[in-house]
Structure 1
Amino acid sequence: MRVIAGEARGMRLSAPRGTTTRPTTDRVKEALFSLLDSAHWLDGARVLDLFAGSGALGIEALSRGAEHVVFIEKNRHALVSLQQNLLHTRFNNRAEVHPFDCLQALERLARHKTQFDLVLLDPPYQAGLHQKVIELVGATLLAADGLLVAETAARMPLPERIGPCIQTDRRIYGDTALELYTMEQNHAP
């Protein structure tokens, strides 16, 4: 696993051992960040990386110009890799790591009225959390002109509308789908 482009290009990232985390493949990561770069979503962005694992997606965002990334990850093995990767890439000063369950972390961020330009969501596919998390993020944390990207199993499409969020694109890469959501304009927080 490596950083594909930007300031930390080519740097290797560590991943936790075992099967409790599923890193995004380089192919999907490359496609995602090409899409984000072409639309200038990363320049100075405030990013939320949910179910961050090793932090590969958030670190790629930082490498490509994001201002700040908040990482949410509760698995202690993944947290060790995430912290090592932030130190290795020297992005620890532009990052916050919250070692909590995703739903607890979202409640804490909502209480502080934190807003994000880009939200990266990659929960375990079978956990059934996509819709609940998208609804919570849309209700409180996604900026009015923000973008939420959910990684899902291609065979399990998400609804076109979840709470105040509307799907604007769905791209399939083998067994993986990237589903992009923006805020419905009359529901922006």
Structure 2
Amino acid sequence: MRIISGFHKNRKINAPKSLPVRPTTDLAKESLFNIINNTYNIEILNVLDLFSGTGNISYEFASRGANKIISIDNNFNCIKFIKQTSSKLLLNNIECKKMDSIKYLSSTKEKFDIIFADAPYSYQFLDLIIIKIFNNSLLNENGILILEHSDKNNFSNSKYFLNKKKYSSVNFSFFVKK
């Protein structure tokens, strides 16, 4: 995996193979960040990265100068890797929390401009993520939830659904408060 743009452009990051993760592909990540970059001023964004895994998305936001990124994962080794990599790359705008993502959404009072969630494709509670975020008003005005998921999921009936983009086998669904 590599950082696409920003301070650490083209920097390769090698995550341990033992981590139970499926990082977002470089092609999908580059396409996603083209959308984000054309919509937002990244430098003022507060971002929540749920199911952070290797930290791939968090590093990209941090490299591009996002104001603050909170990375949430319930796996100790994933959080340890994100902390080590963030420290090595001097990415001081990343804060890591070892916690269940649903519990975090239920307890936090913070608001975010972008919430990115890349749960395991077998995760059964994707709808609950959407509900928690919008019921708890966790997005700032003009904020967006981006959910990465497999082809098996269809969220077009959600009242918060905006649109979906597909890049090879990676799907991103976008949700906003209407």
State the match for 2:146 in structure 1: 149
Alignment of 1:103-118 (within 5 A): 103-109=102-108, 113-118=109-114
Match of 2:130 among 134, 148, 170: 134
The answer (yes or no) to whether the contact 2:118–2:148 under 8 Å persists in 1 is yes
Q: CA deviation at 1:120?
A: 0.5
Find the aligned partners of 1:16 and 1:123 in 2 and give their Cα distance: 19
Specify the SS of the correspondent of 1:145: strand
Alignment of 1:53-72 (within 5 A): 53-72=53-72
The answer (yes or no) to whether the contact 2:144–2:176 under 8 Å persists in 1 is yes
State the match for 1:123 in structure 2: 119
State the match for 1:102 in structure 2: 101
Find the aligned partners of 1:169 and 1:16 in 2 and give their Cα distance: 34
Q: Pairwise CA RMSD of aligned residues?
A: 1.5
> Taking structure 2 as the reference length, what is the TM-score of the superposition?
0.92
The answer (yes or no) to whether the contact 1:155–1:175 under 8 Å persists in 2 is no
Paired residues, number: 177
State the match for 2:158 in structure 1: 161
Find the aligned partners of 2:145 and 2:113 in 1 and give their Cα distance: 8
Find the aligned partners of 2:16 and 2:155 in 1 and give their Cα distance: 28
Specify the SS of the correspondent of 1:127: coil
Aligned partner of 1:151: which letter? Answer: E
The answer (yes or no) to whether the contact 2:49–2:58 under 8 Å persists in 1 is yes
Find the aligned partners of 1:69 and 1:50 in 2 and give their Cα distance: 10
Aligned partner of 2:30: which letter? Answer: E
Find the aligned partners of 1:13 and 1:80 in 2 and give their Cα distance: 14
State the match for 1:172 in structure 2: 166
State the match for 1:183 in structure 2: 177
Aligned identity (percent) is 27
The answer (yes or no) to whether the contact 1:72–1:97 under 8 Å persists in 2 is yes
> Taking structure 1 as the reference length, what is the TM-score of the superposition?
0.87
Deviating above 3 A after TM superposition, structure 1's stretches of 4 or more consecutive aligned residues are none
Work out whether 1:90 is the aligned partner of 2:54. no
Unpaired runs of 5+ residues, structure 1, are: 185-189
